[in-house]
Amino acid sequence: MAGEPRIAQKGPFVLEMQPGKVWWCACGRSNNQPFCDGSHKGTGLSPMPCEITEAKTVAFCGCKHSANKPFCDGSHRKL
């Protein structure tokens, strides 16, 4: 049975990212937000891989309710 994600923050995590693969925390329990630290174990939730192809500013979803995961779509405004 899948658990509900925790809201890590009601707003995006805006970060300057370099090319590479990261694992976005989907459960909201990671102490390394917005990235996975393994805290999802036992929740039924799994992190989401994200490939950054070029250096850029990225707004990762902090509320864990975006329809455009792992990126912010403004869903936090409705929580």
Mean pLDDT by 10 residues, the chain (79 residues): 86 98 98 97 95 98 97 96
pLDDT of residue 52: 97
Q: Taking the C-alpha atoms of 58, 23, 32 and 69 in order, what is their torsion angle to the nearest 10 degrees?
A: 50
Q: What is the pLDDT of residue 77?
A: 96
Give the pLDDT score at 9: 97
pTM of the model: 0.93
Separation CA 19–CA 13 (nearest Å): 17
pLDDT for res 2:
64
